[in-house]
Structure 1
Amino acid sequence: MSQPVSLHHLVQQFPHPGRLDAIYLRPARREAVIAVQQAQALVDRGLSGDRAAEKTPWRAGGNKRQVTLIQAEHLPVVAAFTQLARIDPAWLRRNLLVSGLNLLATKTMFKDEPLIVRIGAQVVLEITGPCEPCSRMEEILGAGGYNAMRGHGGMTARVLAGGPLQVGDAITCLPTPSQSGAQA
């Protein structure tokens, strides 16, 4: 008879890796984002060339919003809510467009067990929470754009291990240290 699987184990199980579909850098506040094929993730900072990475961390580990991620599968939902034909992911000003991995499921259910994702061979991010929409969504998406984005704004993350990112890289969830030796 097999042992029951714990909720701690279940929240770390994903059916397959996701994919990095696009990378965007935000050079300055309110300036257009720049789409790039590759970028360098900097530990405790963010992505080289992005305004978030230019700030000197004021505490160990840096802030919780070093990199922002958004779910490609949510773009048609936001388009439907706003009655737009399509949503250009660059309009939403997130750094990484991800497909095939449920980003909402990467939000930790347990404070002592953050979810960790690996992008490509080297980059490791700790998912730190939801990336709530800002009032600019009203300007960009029209009246109601803010509410259309609520629940679909993506996630924020900290860079734990830096290195190169490239469009097409696989994205996998890693077990938290407390679960890596646990039995299923």
Structure 2
Amino acid sequence: MSRLAGIARHGRPRGPMETLDAVEITVDGGLAGDFRGSVKPGGRGRRQVSLIEAEDWNAAMAELGHGLEWWHRRANLLAEDFDLPQIAGTRIRIGEAVILEITQECTPCSRMEEVAPELKTALTPGWRGGALARVIAPGRIVVGDTMAVLD
């Protein structure tokens, strides 16, 4: 069964990642306490939440011979046994209430090279670096919540 396997946030650019067991998600603010979630005036909130597949992260780590924790990717949510949609506009439900809409691929940046040499390259193919999303419906999510693609 597809599930939410991890939650992380960072309160400022280049700030430390904080892992959580649960978090509130709002339409205007994304993950509570995460600096990227706020929709700027006139903005569309395309980068409110970032998601990565556990399987993709593990594959990248195996290629590089590393065992770094997933949050080093600086993503907000870790999906387990879940194939992240690679089509903008696709909606995902997490838990009972939260709905996210995929907006674009989360392309790996040069910051990944600071984490581990060649990590940017390992995360580049096939959306392996994850997806970005906007919040459609707010709520509270908890590690272990189910995840599903909505029709």
Same topology, TM > 0.5? yes
In 2, Cα distance between equivalents of 1:80 and 1:131: 20
Are residues 1:163 and 2:139 paired? yes
Are residues 1:107 and 2:86 paired? yes
1:135 to 98, 104, 110: 110
In 2, Cα distance between equivalents of 1:56 and 1:94: 18
Aligned to 1:36: 20
In percent, how many aligned pairs have the same letter? 34
Choose between structure 1 and 2: higher strand proportion.
2
Aligned to 1:49: 33
Asked whether the 8 Å contact 2:39–2:45 carries over to 1, the reply is no
Read off the aligned partner of 2:65 and give its amino acid letter: Q
Asked whether the 8 Å contact 2:28–2:39 carries over to 1, the reply is no
Computing the radius of gyration from Cα coordinates, the structure with the larger value is 1
Asked whether the 8 Å contact 1:38–1:167 carries over to 2, the reply is yes
Displacement after TM superposition at 1:63 (Å): 2.0
Per-residue deviation, residues 69-92 of structure 1 (Å, max 9, x unmatched): 0000112211122222x1311111
Displacement after TM superposition at 1:146 (Å): 1.2
Aligned to 2:5: 21
- Over the aligned positions, Cα root-mean-square deviation in angstroms equals 1.5
Aligned to 1:125: 100
Asked whether the 8 Å contact 1:44–1:160 carries over to 2, the reply is no
Are residues 1:154 and 2:130 paired? yes
Q: Secondary structure at the match of 1:32?
A: coil
Displacement after TM superposition at 1:44 (Å): 3.9
In 1, Cα distance between equivalents of 2:143 and 2:20: 8
Displacement after TM superposition at 1:56 (Å): 4.4
Number of residues paired by the alignment?
149
Are residues 1:59 and 2:33 paired? no
Asked whether the 8 Å contact 2:100–2:135 carries over to 1, the reply is yes
TM (normalized to structure 1)? Answer: 0.76
Are residues 1:83 and 2:57 paired? no
Aligned to 1:92: 73
